[in-house]
Structure 1
Amino acid sequence: MTTTHVALLRAINVGGVTVPMEHLRDLAFELGWTDVITYLATGNLLLSTTQTATAVAERLSAALRAEYAREVPVVVRTPAQLLATLDRVRPVFAHAEPRRVQVAFLDRDPGPDADELLGAFAPDEHRYLGGELALHYPNGQARTKMTTSAIERRLGVVATVRGVATIEGILVRSGVTPVRDDLDRDS
């Protein structure tokens, strides 16, 4: 059975590895995947395949390593999983400006003590939601200590972070319409 997957590449085109989106699409087709779409230049790849999420992550990461001689971790979710994540994240930080809310997608479950392991980063907030971390940066991310690297180091995981608006854009391109209750807010 063919499944739509969303491959979220970590740290490309932001000072690490430069991967043109056209090349990423070509690579996905070479791997035998169909319905290939990229969204933004930050490594969001939609694809269809009969392969598992784990196989997609491993194959894409290996292909990128072969092509660029650098590790490019990949975290994979389905559109349904992305939508469920948004449904869990929105109420947690309902008080926050949507543009200040991010999601860290983790490659594995760090366990139920993830929030304790991560520790405090005041004024920034986090909440572990099983597979993802909901993140709130009230003053923006420019000077935060709650970086992706800090999350990875403290939890022993690979993480890649996307904003709520980016997740919504990915969902729209996958054919899923995210419901937003914050459309009347200024953002």
Structure 2
Amino acid sequence: MSRSVALIRGVGGPTAMKMPALREVLASAGLGEVETLQVAGNLVLDDGGRSPGEIAGVVRDAVLDAFGFDLPVVVRTHVELADAHARNPFAVTAEGRWVQTVFLAEPPSVGTTLDVPAQYPEEAVLDGREVFVRYPEGIGGSKLQAAWFEKRLGVTGTARNANTVAKLVAMSA
């Protein structure tokens, strides 16, 4: 059975969930062998032959039914996640927690470009369904959060730092 990674956007604060309860809910929804990383909505699971879109729907519906939170879910197969991690042009150039990948639910419209305003110190590269971002001054104070990219690209996304992506690649292997 192949493994996939589901990334739930917006887990924390008022939408916090206990990870053991989340694993139990998802296992009972037919997504066996569910593992979590951190408490931020990072899931590694057996895909059971389902497509990434089907997995996203099952996870989103299960979270809504069990916890009452309607949170977007982006799914990548192990191969897709490993490929995205390998394509990140910043993954080896900076501290991993200051490099993020914004995983997009779908590719932006053909011809869409991404231009970071010159006054921002960040660098960003749009590559298919991912945006790779380097934060030379740290992430916390940056205006270039996932929502900034979503607005410009017209696509739902969720961000994970390079350290987390590397751990998820290893867990899903």
CA–CA separation in structure 2 for the residues paired with 1:98 and 1:111: 29
Contact 1:148 1:159 survives alignment (8 Å) = yes
CA–CA separation in structure 2 for the residues paired with 1:56 and 1:83: 18
Please identify, of 142-151 and 62-71, the stretch whose mean Cα deviation from structure 2 is larger.
Answer: 62-71
Identity over the aligned pairs, expressed in percent? 30
Contact 1:115 1:127 survives alignment (8 Å) = no
- Residue 79 of structure 1 corresponds to which residue in structure 2? 78
Shift of 1:70: 2.5
1:54 aligns with 2:24: no
Contact 1:35 1:47 survives alignment (8 Å) = yes
Shift of 1:16: 4.2
Contact 2:8 2:71 survives alignment (8 Å) = yes
Shift of 1:113: 4.0
Shift of the 110–168 alpha-carbon distance from structure 1 to 2, 3 Å rule, reads same
CA–CA separation in structure 2 for the residues paired with 1:141 and 1:131: 21
TM-score, structure 2 as length reference: 0.90
CA–CA separation in structure 1 for the residues paired with 2:149 and 2:10: 14
SS state of the match for residue 60, structure 2?
helix
CA–CA separation in structure 2 for the residues paired with 1:144 and 1:33: 36
TM-score, structure 1 as length reference: 0.84
Amino acid paired to 2:172: S
Contact 1:103 1:163 survives alignment (8 Å) = yes
CA–CA separation in structure 1 for the residues paired with 2:69 and 2:37: 22
CA–CA separation in structure 2 for the residues paired with 1:171 and 1:87: 10
Task: Map residues 29-178 of structure 1 onto 2, 5 A cutoff.
Answer: 29-48=27-46, 49-89=48-88, 91-92=89-90, 94-116=92-114, 119-120=116-117, 122-175=120-173
Shift of 1:167: 0.9
Query: Unpaired runs of 5+ in structure 2?
Result: none
CA–CA separation in structure 1 for the residues paired with 2:168 and 2:133: 19
Query: Unpaired runs of 5+ in structure 1?
Result: 176-187
Q: What is the Cα-based RMSD across aligned positions, in Å?
A: 1.8
Residue by residue over 1:68-101, the C-alpha shift from the partner in whole angstroms, topping out at 9 and shown as x without a partner, is 3232110000111111111110x35654333311
The aligned length equals: 171
SS state of the match for residue 45, structure 1?
strand
Shift of the 115–122 alpha-carbon distance from structure 1 to 2, 3 Å rule, reads farther
